[in-house]
Amino acid sequence: MRNSIPMLNKLVPEPGMTMNWLETLRDKHIDTYRHSLRVAWLAEKLTLKLPINEAERQEIVSGCLLHDIGKLVIPNEILDSIKPLTNKEWGLIKEHPQLGAYLLRNENIGLTTMNVIRHHHERGDGTGYPSMLKGDDIPYGARVCSVLDAFDSMVVDRPYRKGKPIEEAIAELFAHTGAQFSLPIVECFASMADQIRIFYARPVRSEAGDQGIVNPSCKASGSSS
C-alpha cells in the first residue's frame, strides 16, 4: 500500500464530502459503482432482519455502499481483465480494502462503517485479507457485507461469464458457511429469496444501478458503534 499513497492523495475530494466518493467511483468504473449500490440495497433490506440497533444498521449500510471505494486506485484494465490475474495484479486487488480505509481516513465515518470497508474480505477460517481475522473476531458488519458482496458478484453477468441463478448462488453461500461466511447471516439472507428475486429481475447491470436504488441521502454516520 505504501507505494500507492501518492496516487491516493491525488484522488481525495474535499473532506466531509462522502457522496463525492461515489460520484468519483461512478466516473471511474461504472460496474463497481453499480455493484456498490446493489450491495447497499441488499444491506438495507437484510439489516432490518438482524439483531442490531438502528445506528449500527445505518453504519453497516454505509459501509456496504463504500466497501469497494479502494478500487478507485486499481487500474480499470485489471478490474475488467478477462484473463487470469498475475500475482502482482492479484496483490493489488487485495489491497483495495486498506486503500479504501486510507482514502476515507479524513471523513466523518464511524468505526462500524470503517470496519466494513477494511474487513469485508476476511473469512471465517482466517484465510481472508487484509488481517486474516477468524470467526467472531471479524467485525459483524464486515461479515454481513461479505455475504452480500459475494452474492451480487455471483449473480450478475460479467464480460467473461454469465451470472449464476439466484437459488444456485444462495446454495453456494450455504456451502461456504463456517469457512467463509456466517451461517446465521446466510440463513437470514436466504429468507429474503423472494424479495431478492424480484430485485434482480431488473436490468441490474444498466439503468437500475443509476436510478437511486439506494437512498442518495445515505451517508456514513459519525457514530462508532
Contact 74, 96 (CB under 8 A): yes
The confidence score (pLDDT) of residue 10 equals 43
The confidence score (pLDDT) of residue 19 equals 64
Q: Which of 165, 69, 58 is nearest to 120 (CA)?
A: 69
Contact 63, 160 (CB under 8 A): no
Q: Which of 173, 201, 175, 165 is nearest to 189 (CA)?
A: 173
Task: Indicate left, alpha or beta for 132 from its phi (over 0: left) and psi (-120 to 50: alpha).
Answer: left
Residue showing cell 455502499: 65
The confidence score (pLDDT) of residue 218 equals 34
The confidence score (pLDDT) of residue 161 equals 84
What architecture is domain 2-210?
Orthogonal Bundle (1.10)
Contact 85, 74 (CB under 8 A): no
The confidence score (pLDDT) of residue 223 equals 33
Residue 61 CA to residue 67 CA, distance in Å, equals: 10
The confidence score (pLDDT) of residue 213 equals 42
Give the residue extent of every domain in the chain.
Answer: 2-210
Record the pTM. 0.84
Residue 116 CA to residue 216 CA, distance in Å, equals: 19
Contact 28, 72 (CB under 8 A): yes
3-state secondary structure 154-188: HHCCECCECCCCHHHHHHHHHHCECCCECHHHHHH
The confidence score (pLDDT) of residue 204 equals 52
Residues of the chain with confidence (pLDDT) below 50: 1-17, 205-225
